Amino acid sequence: MDLIPNSGPHLHVLLNHFPSVGTVIALGLFATAFYLKSEDLKRSSMVLFLLLGLLAIPTYISGAAARWSIQNNPGINPDVIAAHMDQALVAFTFLGITGCLAWFGLWQERRFKTTPGWNLIAVAVASLLSLYYMARAGNIGGHINHPELGEVELTTAAGEGLTASVENMITSVIWAWPAMEAAHFIGMALIFGVVLLVGLRALGVGKNLPFSAFHRLLPLGALGLIVNIVTGFFFFIADSGRYVAMDGFPPKIIALMIGGVAIIYFTIFDDTWSLKSGDDAPILSKAIAVITIGSWAAVLIFGRLLPYYGDGG
């Protein structure tokens, strides 16, 4: 019995439950926080929304890996797979937006001691849309391997839906790929530059400055991350078969997840926020600084090695 998933379909079956169930839980916490007027519950729900937004990345990637693994199996309808992928792409987009909005709300609360009302409304709306499209994707996905469930309504055929349209747009416009590569490099420079500055302050460099001065830079790093996720997924959609076969791609995604989670610490925790000019960071802050810098360095390294690391062949 394999306890650790070692195939696309196996991993996808494991992962795809977390965003959908997790969003229900996060929405429940979010609503309860307003009912009880609890700042702790509200903050917890926002952190959970952010974690789910990050988890949507490997969930979507594992779905593409599952598609390449089973699409030629007898009894598999490619139109159903295409419809599932289209709904999953929309769900991934809204869940990612929810995570971004949740992080920005957490950053604002830490910096200004309050979260704007518009941010909370936007998180609620985006999360509800995420849940709606995840339910649609799950319903269609259930018919892929279980045709006995009956017919499912399909609005487009394989090669005609949203995912195929995005893929065709990227591959047919000659300047699209190089323009996105340039944006991707700039985004990584923003991420790693901010991570390096914040991490070095926690490690004792620039102790004459309070951490709050570095906290102001975090939205710039978040902008770089958004740019990289958007451009990265355009790359992935345009050539998903090659990416899921690359030996170096899973380590990059794992490092990205670790780096994304570690940044939450520097966004909201008192350990670093309370550092004044001349203060030395606690051991935990230094350890997380090393993990954060190391994980984003790994993302950068594995990303650059992808064309040379091997394609699983």
Q: What is the pLDDT of residue 1?
A: 44
Percent of the chain whose predicted confidence (pLDDT) is above 70: 91
What is the value of pTM for the model shown?
0.90
Query: Are the beta carbons of 176 and 170 closer than 8 angstroms?
Result: yes
What was the pLDDT predicted at 138? Answer: 87
Closest CA to 70 of 133, 13, 125: 13
Q: Are 276 and 219 in contact (CB under 8 A)?
A: no
Closest CA to 228 of 255, 262, 206, 267: 255
CB-count burial class (<10 Å; 0-12, 13-18, 19+) for 111 = middle
Q: Is residue 225 within 8 Å of residue 258, measured between CB atoms?
A: no
Convert the pLDDT of each residue in 178-211 to its tens digit. 999 999 999 999 999 999 999 999 999 988 999 9
138 contacts 75 by C-beta, under 8 angstroms: no
Residue 65: predicted pLDDT? 86
Residue 66 has a pLDDT of 84
The two structure tokens encoding residue 138: 């799950």
Q: Are 50 and 22 in contact (CB under 8 A)?
A: no
**Could you tell me the CA-to-CA distances from 274 to 150, 211, 268, 269, 278 in Å, in that order?**
59, 7, 11, 9, 12
Task: Answer for the pair 49, 98: CB distance below 8 angstroms, yes or no.
Answer: yes
Asked whether residue 100 carries a pLDDT value surpassing 60, the answer given is yes
pLDDT at 313: 46
Residues 105-139 pLDDT 10s: 999 999 998 899 999 999 999 999 999 999 999 88
Q: 166 exposed, middle or buried (CB, 10 Å; 0-12, 13-18, 19+)?
A: middle
